[in-house]
């Protein structure tokens, strides 16, 4: 049995080598290069490939694997929207992802960044860097005195609710699929409009689906409380960023914490320190005192990386053995 892994970063190597030690019966090859029609040749002789990338899994890439006799692919991430499923179906690909690697990593990031916005740490840090040690007017708001609206109460949303309740904050939630435990606590409101009207802070934890596209827009922002704080650690296309920037300009939105951006492919995870940012909007957002931008790093913890590598390799092995895996993507 042989598995070939693509795009292996240095921080993933320890987890991969541990998996290899625990599975001496499997030959494992890997590269730091991403999978494309050319690099597919590196997997010659393999039974399955393990991948993580923002590049699309195009018909050409999947065809290149098919021509090598490979039709098993395990993703080390959640998202599958960059897979050409029509081609995958034609070649009878078995595909898995890692749907749950560390809800805590992402929930903690949302909580921390939201608290930083409320306590105005960014403008305060800038003051201190310039040796301005005056308090005013950089005054904060206490987390426990806010009403947090959580849109999406799955694994991540649920952990965030627990964290916020630990602060003493009031939490309300909305989800078309209600969690019985949270429902028993009386968390849920019946509509997004209710959540918008009641929340001081709104955090998004829903997938990128057509029905969720630009759910935060000019009309929905108008329904929110003045001085609302927005947190998005889910998917960039949940927000109409132009509407959000207008809300920041008008003062309707007090602050924004964003870990994702609709046009992040080719922008995030690259070093622009010696170049001008090619996207004027992200440059504008980064420069604002009331906006915190992180480049899709909410997931990026040692625990999450370990789970992403381990679960994806386990899924590849299950595919090779003809066994079922809970991580299989049904498409």
Active site residues per annotation: 235, 264, 296
CB under 8 Å to 10, separation ≥6 — which residues? none
CB under 8 Å to 249, separation ≥6 — which residues? none
Q: Give the Cβ contact number of residue 249 at 10 Å.
A: 10
* Cα–Cα distance, 262 to 189 (Å, whole number): 28
Number of helical (H) and strand (E) elements in the chain, helices listed first: 12, 11
Angle between helices 103-118 and 155-167 (to 10 degrees): 40
| Nearest of 57, 13, 26, 61 to residue 41 by alpha carbon | 61
The strand pairing partners of 48, in sequence order, are: 3
- Whether the CB-CB separation of 119 and 140 falls below 8 Å is answered with yes
Written as six digits, the tokens of 151 are 């849109």
- Whether the CB-CB separation of 116 and 257 falls below 8 Å is answered with yes
| Nearest of 72, 58, 18 to residue 309 by alpha carbon | 18
- Whether the CB-CB separation of 77 and 95 falls below 8 Å is answered with no
* Cα–Cα distance, 290 to 121 (Å, whole number): 9
| Nearest of 180, 164, 259, 244 to residue 172 by alpha carbon | 164
């Amino acid at each position: 049995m042989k598995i070939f892994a693509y795009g292996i970063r240095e921080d993933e190597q320890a987890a991969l080598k541990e998996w290899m030690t625990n599975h001496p019966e499997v030959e494992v090859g890997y590269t730091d290069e991403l999978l494309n029609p050319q690099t597919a040749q590196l997997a010659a002789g393999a039974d399955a490939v393990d991948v993580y990338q923002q590049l699309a899994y195009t018909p050409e890439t999947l065809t290149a694997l098919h021509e090598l006799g490979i039709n098993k692919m395990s993703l080390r991430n959640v998202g599958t929207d960059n897979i050409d499923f029509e081609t995958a179906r034609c070649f009878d690909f078995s595909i898995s992802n890692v749907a749950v690697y560390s809800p805590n990593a992402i929930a903690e990031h949302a909580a921390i960044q939201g608290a930083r916005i409320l306590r105005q740490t960014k403008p305060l840090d800038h003051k201190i860097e310039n040796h301005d040690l005056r308090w005013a007017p950089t005054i904060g708001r206490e987390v426990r005195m806010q009403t947090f609206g959580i849109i999406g109460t799955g694994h991540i949303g649920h952990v965030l609710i627990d964290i916020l309740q630990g602060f003493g904050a009031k939490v309300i939630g909305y989800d078309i699929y209600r969690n019985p435990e949270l429902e028993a606590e009386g968390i849920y409101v019946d509509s997004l409009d209710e959540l918008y009207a009641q929340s001081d802070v709104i955090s998004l934890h829903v997938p990128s689906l057509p029905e969720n596209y630009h759910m935060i827009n000019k009309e929905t922002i108008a329904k929110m409380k003045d001085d609302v704080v927005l947190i998005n650690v889910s998917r960039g296309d949940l927000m109409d960023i132009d509407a959000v920037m207008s809300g920041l300009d008008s003062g309707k939105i007090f602050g924004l914490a964003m870990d994702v951006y609709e046009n992040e492919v080719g922008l995030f995870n690259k070093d622009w320190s010696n170049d001008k940012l090619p996207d004027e909007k992200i440059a504008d957002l980064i420069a604002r005192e009331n906006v915190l931008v992180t480049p899709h790093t909410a997931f990026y913890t040692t625990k999450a990386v370990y789970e992403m590598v381990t679960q994806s390799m386990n899924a590849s092995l299950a595919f090779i053995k003809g066994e079922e895996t809970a991580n299989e993507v049904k498409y």
